[in-house]
Amino acid sequence: MLCKGPAVLEAPEQFTVLGLPVHLLNDYGNWLGSRLSQGIGTHVITLNAEMTIQAERHETLAQIIRQSELVIPDGAGIILYLRLRGQRRRRCPGIELAESLLQQAAQWGASCPVFFYGGAPGVAAQAVKNWQEQLPQLAIQGVTDGYISEEAQQELQHTLQKKQPRLILVGLGVPRQELWIAQHRHLCPQATWMGIGGSFDIWAGNKSRAPAWLGDNHLEWLYRLYQEPWRWRRMMALPHFALKALAQLRA
């Protein structure tokens, strides 16, 4: 049974950032919700500078990004690059788009079940509990943490194929979540699949998002580094991205 929702909107405009596509829309939530409502399979990629640099070194990841139905400009570096190329666009944080989808799924109830996969043991389960307190009509079809055995992984795949959830949120980190989705999306061809990184931790109350003024000034990455100082090596992708972007713009 299909959810009731708006008709599918026009195809998004596509732009290229260092060889990778970015889809430009005025309302990502409405466009993606229309596909979710009609059971049109979609893989959502939340592109930022770090993922862009990883894709340079990981051709499989690059191919997955190019083949995805929706690539949103999640990172400040992507937005700044677009603006330097004359595209005045606002950032679309992946966590906010996922929240919009959950709110829409709650309106459709049992006809649009949701599955959470990823995070440390207990984190996704707590996120589910918090969401169901906010949205009692949200139909959660299953929740599994990201630290499971090979046997449990096989059971997870069987469960997805049997239950056919319509919205599948995967929090395994980049690029693991993108690779996992690409390998398994055939199990639920009508579903919307989205890698959401550490969003389960935020929804569970274990971590917090950066203050709005930091996000407005493209400094959310600095707050994340403050929370997780071990990420400093990965953050080196930011100046790498900036140098490559400037070199391409000059060319």
pLDDT at 1: 44
Residue 4 in any domain: the answer is no
Residue 238 in any domain: the answer is no
The CATH number that applies at residue 72 is: 3.40.50
Residue 26 in any domain: the answer is yes
Residue 251 in any domain: the answer is no
Please state the domain count of the chain.
1
Domain with 126 in it:
13-204
pLDDT, tens digit, 9 for 90 and up, residues 92-111: 999 999 999 999 999 999 99
Q: What's the mean pLDDT when you consider all of the chain? A: 89
Residue 209 in any domain: the answer is no
| Distance separating alpha carbons of residues 195 and 231, to the nearest angstrom | 19
Q: What is the model's pTM? A: 0.89
Residue 216 in any domain: the answer is no
pLDDT, tens digit, 9 for 90 and up, residues 180-217: 999 999 999 999 999 999 999 999 999 866 566 555 65
Q: What is the DSSP string of 187-222?
A: GSTTSEEEE-TTHHHHHHTSS-PPPHHHHHTT-HHH
